Amino acid sequence: MTDRVYLDHAATTAVLPAVVERVAQQMGVLGNASSLHTAGRAARRVVEESREAIAAALGARPSEVIFTSGGTEADNLAVAGTYRRRREDDPRRTRLLVSAIEHHAVLDCVEHLVRHEGAEVTWLGVDEQGRVDPATVRAALEEAPDDVAVVSVMWANNEVGTVQPVRDIAAIAREFAVPFHTDAVQAIGQVPVDFAESGADLLALTGHKIGGPLGVGVLLARRDVKIQPLSYGGGQERQVRSGTLDTPAIAGLAMAVEHAVTHLEEHAAHLASLRDKLIHGAVGAGFGITVTGPHDVGDVVRRLPGTAHLRVPGCEGDSLLYLLDAAGVECSTGSACQAGVPQPSHVLLAMGISEDDARGALRLSLGHTSTDSDVEAFLTALPAAVERAQRAHHATRGSER
């Protein structure tokens, strides 16, 4: 277990040592940021300085930073909170425009609103590269502009790494005066993210994807966007998200965000170099492996630099995952939140990939601890794993006949 290779950074990545120290130091300091005495004011100062640091790094105003428990809560607050408030103000606002490749933090929230709160959803399709065409968004808004509550399209996909034309989509949504939400959980630290320049009204991010702590995230929300709370209590965070603020985690998150933005260019270049080496080696291994998603063109980044999504014919992704794991290489078949579910990825199906092809998927995601030797270890372990997985697959198919 000592020489294991970790290639699942899109699920979670190692906490930066400086963040560990910052969180540990703050955990030793007493104080509730909502208290008015000296200890409380000291904790509040840490929270507000962290809020200002995150805002500055991401092109937002401090008043637009709402602390949450992570990306899932931020997504739910953006989608459900905005839908409920918009519908309360205007009962006609029952429709949601949502991309078909969203993370389940968005998809399952939408499905709940449809089943239990009378919402309707228009699923925005994607092309074979997993990209939403802004014209599709415009057409859906023009169809019935007065009934849309919110538009949600993720900044970058968590499975295949496709980067979306967020600014174009946000501009269209703004033309129709409809709030636009983007899940930027995977984008922070890999591609430039500027909240003001993006034109988005709501943006979700989390700490544990960028070397920050687990259990803390942010919803960036413009001041003019009205959101109905999902929970009630002390009224912290603009009366939108109640709960005692986790001062140590917030301090660690701010440090991680600043680090991710400051080192973005060199980090992205390093990841892209490793990604391309991994893809080239896997495709050249002679098993008919194909790459899912777009290729970068010139200076246009169309795929996250740290994500490589491969499809291996004639085998099951889960089998590959376990065989690679046994060889000391840890990766994923897709979204970690859906691990173990025996259905092909909804992302791949939305991209027009057949169920059989989708079942042989592997997601390899790189992070700040990744090295050339990690890629080499994967490429060394891959042939034997593919051969065994293909034999098992053929044997299973033969017995079914």
Tokens 């691990």, located at residue:
339
Return the number of other C-beta atoms located less than 10 Å from residue 223's C-beta. 9
Return the structure tokens found at 24.
């540990």
Q: What are phi and psi of 294, to 5 degrees?
A: -85, 165
- Cα gap 339→345, rounded to integer Å: 10
Return the structure tokens found at 189.
């630290």
* DSSP code of residue 81: I
Q: In Å, how far are 64, 195, 381 from 205, measured between CA atoms?
A: 13, 11, 34
CA 100-102-107 angle, to 5 degrees, is 85
Return the structure tokens found at 112.
């709940």
- Cα gap 363→41, rounded to integer Å: 45
* DSSP code of residue 8: B
CA 59-74-81 angle, to 5 degrees, is 110
- Cα gap 41→90, rounded to integer Å: 40
Tokens 């979670």, located at residue:
12
Q: In sequence order, what DSSP letters do the residues of 71-138 get, joined into one string?
A: HHHHHHIIIIIHHHHHHHH-TT--EEEEETT--HHHHHHHHHHHHHS--EEEEE---TTS---HHHHH
- Catalytic: which of 109, 315, 331, 337? 337
The answer to whether 337 is a known catalytic residue is yes
- Cα gap 179→151, rounded to integer Å: 6
- Cα gap 294→326, rounded to integer Å: 30
Which SS3 state, helix, strand or coil, does residue 32 take?
coil
Q: Minimal CA–CA distance to 190: which of 51, 16, 307?
A: 307
The single-letter code of the amino acid at 388 is R
Q: In sequence order, what DSSP letters do the residues of 148-172 get, joined into one string?
A: EEEEE--SB-TTT-BBP-HHHHHHH
Active site residues: 337
